Amino acid sequence: MKTEITYAVEEQVATITLSRPERLNALTSTLLTELAESIEEANQDNTIRVIVLTGAGRGFCAGQDLKTVQPGMDHGDYLKQYYHPVIRALATTKKPTIAAINGVAAGAGLSLTLACDFRIVRDDAKLSLGFINIGLVPDAGAPYFLPRLIGSAKALELALLGETITAQQAYDYHLVTKSVDAGQYEQEVASFAKLLASRPTKVIGYIKQLQSASSESTLEDMLAQEIIYQSRAGKTEDHQQAVQAFLEKKAPVFSGR
């Protein structure tokens, strides 16, 4: 039984909620273990077509709960045991992922959102990398994802200054997909998840795998990968149905198969 995560499924969307609102969902070893398990559960469930990650209460995640940091603990070992399984699970799932940033996202809490495909943020939320302010380097995948999202110069600026930025600044930096008015936020997240769930989600997985490979591949490598994944996509039920719908002048209805 999970104690620091809630897991709910509705209309083929799995919503995983960090659930320590009294601590702004600060991360513990228990929460991280449950989070990795929940992402894997959603990934293995063939009825799930979208994964949403959010926080309970007034914030998304304040980062590591510093009250749980023991004197002399090896932060590298802690990363390897608890954080990296979560980041790998988010980064490698073939299903589209949305970070629904409903409030403060700081430190490793912000890092979690960077491993997702989309980030939808409430317009009153605050974001900060913040590691420098406690004498640590950015971790939980941030050094990998952040420069790829916003460029190395801006990523270095956020890492070295440790400043808090607004939702609008995050949008201007191309760090988030959308900044949404607080009154419309929950509806917008639900609508966006529903839109993704209506798409050919098996092919979305192929697209994610292709794009992930592109950053460390040559053009010839990627042309070879195109052949493989387009062959697979062409054999999906969704492609076959879409072609038939086009011929019949109808809108396609995708099943994710």
Mean pLDDT of the chain, nearest integer:
94
Q: pLDDT by residue (tens digit) across 99-120?
A: 999 999 999 999 999 999 999 9
Q: Provide the residue type at 185 as one letter.
A: Y
Domain 5-197 carries which CATH code?
A: 3.90.226.10
Whether the per-residue pLDDT at 205 is higher than 90: the answer is: yes
The pair of three-digit structure tokens given for residue 126, joined into one six-digit string: 């605050």
Mean pLDDT over 108-136 rounds to 96
Whether 139 is catalytic is: yes
pLDDT interval class at 180 (50, 70, 90): very high
Catalytic residue among 45, 65, 84, 123: 84
> Cα separations (Å) of 225 from 42, 172, 206, 218, 230?
27, 33, 10, 11, 8
Q: pLDDT by residue (tens digit) across 140-176?
A: 999 999 999 999 999 999 999 999 999 999 999 999 9
Whether the per-residue pLDDT at 122 is higher than 90: the answer is: yes
The predicted pLDDT at position 72 comes to 83
Q: pLDDT by residue (tens digit) across 232-256?
A: 999 999 999 988 988 888 888 898 8
- Report d(CA 44, CA 243) in Å as an integer: 28
Q: Work out the number of other CB atoms within 10 angstroms of the CB of residue 207.
A: 15
pLDDT interval class at 68 (50, 70, 90): confident
- Read out DSSP for 196-237? HHTS-HHHHHHHHHHHHHHTT--HHHHHHHHHHHHHHHHTSH
Q: Is the dihedral of CA 184, 189, 190, 194 positive or negative?
A: positive
Catalytic residue among 139, 172, 174, 181: 139
Whether 172 is catalytic is: no
Whether the per-residue pLDDT at 71 is higher than 90: the answer is: no
Whether the per-residue pLDDT at 39 is higher than 90: the answer is: yes
The predicted pLDDT at position 217 comes to 92
Domain 201-247 carries which CATH code?
A: 1.10.12
Mean pLDDT over 198-208 rounds to 93
The pair of three-digit structure tokens given for residue 89, joined into one six-digit string: 């699970």
SS3 176: coil
Whether the per-residue pLDDT at 49 is higher than 90: the answer is: yes
Nearest to 14 by CA among 33, 44, 57, 29: 44
Residues 6+ apart with CB under 8 A from 58: 21, 24, 102, 103
SS3 242: helix
Sheet (strand 126-128) strand order: 59-61, 104-106, 126-128, 164-166
The predicted pLDDT at position 51 comes to 98
Helix-strand-coil split of the chain, %, nearest 5:
50, 20, 30
Mean pLDDT over 24-38 rounds to 97
The predicted pLDDT at position 70 comes to 82
Q: Work out the number of other CB atoms within 10 angstroms of the CB of residue 94.
A: 14
Domain coordinates of the chain in residue numbers? 5-197, 201-247
pLDDT interval class at 188 (50, 70, 90): very high
Can you give the pTM of this predicted structure?
0.93
Q: Work out the number of other CB atoms within 10 angstroms of the CB of residue 41.
A: 17
Q: Provide the residue type at 211 as one letter.
A: Q
The pair of three-digit structure tokens given for residue 20, joined into one six-digit string: 């320590």
Mean pLDDT over 54-79 rounds to 92
